[in-house]
Structure 1
Amino acid sequence: MAPVVHNALQIAHWFVAWAEELDADLSNLKLQKLLYYAQGEHIGATGRKLFFEPIQAWQHGPVVAEVYHEAKKWGRNPIDPDEFVPENFDWDDYSDVQDELVKVWREYGVYSAWALREKTHGEAPWVDAFHPGRNVEITDAALKAFFGTH
């Protein structure tokens, strides 16, 4: 089994850099949903994690807390790529997952942040894990069960 080589923040950097390349805006809310779908699609297809950080069921959908806190200063506004993406960012570092991340962007990046929030609110991984006032982890098993059938 191949080891996980990226953390969630690195995958977040890729999505923000990709959005910038396409002249698209990316808010923290939308970024969180893209991370959820990237992790879910990866686990569904390979049985392995794309990144190790847990995804939690928050009020507005799935969230990777570490990434949320890195990007929260932008609030609902687009994340500033010049501030968020490291100067030493290199597309070649993502050659192992680039095609997969592009596929996630093409499938889910077309939706608004709020549309993705609503979409996750109808899916079993978030629905089954969400408990108001508690940030419960969405398990790998729940992601595999849901995304493995899609």
Structure 2
Amino acid sequence: MTMMDLAHHIIAVAHKNNIPVTNLQLQKVMFFSLKHAMNDNLLPREVIEKMYDRPFLVWRYGPVVEDVYNEFSVYGATPILDDYTLVNELNNEEFNHKICDLLNQNVFKLVRESHQESFWKENESQIFFGRGNARYQLDDVGKQ
């Protein structure tokens, strides 16, 4: 179970519900779905800890998992067309509903919300040319 698995699961949920998902959306939905999974007990803590194998980084448009971003950057701002299957360990009704809710929100609203996160604000000054290397610890993602 990895952060790439989370990305693939989100894309599968999006396609199953006929919701387009861009790379920028994917990054924000990954961040906020993981945050909700932790804070609302939507997934077991051990699943979340095992999955968080690559940290979010502080970037201009909010938290980004660089490997996932690079994987889907070929799509630019257009919807991701790759097909994936739902990941068993993540496939529960409440978590998938939260993913759909996030996918249906304006992506720039999610960007603005991610900029209100304390870790992002504390590290914004380290962003150069749109990217930063400040790494979110798992507990930084879950902070209220």
Contact 1:129 1:137 in 2 (8 A): no
Letter in 2 for 1:113: V
1:19, distance to aligned residue in structure 2 (A) = 0.9
Contact 2:33 2:102 in 1 (8 A): no
SS in 2 for 1:102: helix
Count of residues in Structure 1 that have an aligned counterpart in Structure 2: 133
Alpha-carbon RMSD:
2.0
**1:19 paired to 2:17:** no
Aligned to 1:97: 90
Percent of aligned positions that are identical: 21
Aligned to 1:108: 102
SS in 2 for 1:62: strand
CA distance in 2 between partners of 1:122 and 1:145 (Å) = 11
Q: What is the TM-score of this pair, normalised by structure 2?
A: 0.80
Contact 2:31 2:63 in 1 (8 A): yes
CA distance in 1 between partners of 2:100 and 2:10 (Å) = 12
1:22, distance to aligned residue in structure 2 (A) = 1.2
**1:136 paired to 2:99:** no
Q: Choose which of 2, 7, 16 in structure 1 pairs with 2:2.
A: 7
For structure 1, list consecutive stretches of 5 or more residues without a partner in the other structure: 1-5
Q: What is the TM-score of this pair, normalised by structure 1?
A: 0.77
Contact 2:37 2:95 in 1 (8 A): no
Aligned to 1:55: 56
1:10, distance to aligned residue in structure 2 (A) = 1.1
Q: Choose which of 104, 114, 119 in structure 1 pairs with 2:113.
A: 119
Aligned to 1:3: none
Instruction: Map Cα deviations across residues 64-91 of structure 1 (whole Å, 9 max, x no partner).
Output: 1110000000001101134xx3xxx3x3
1:113, distance to aligned residue in structure 2 (A) = 1.7
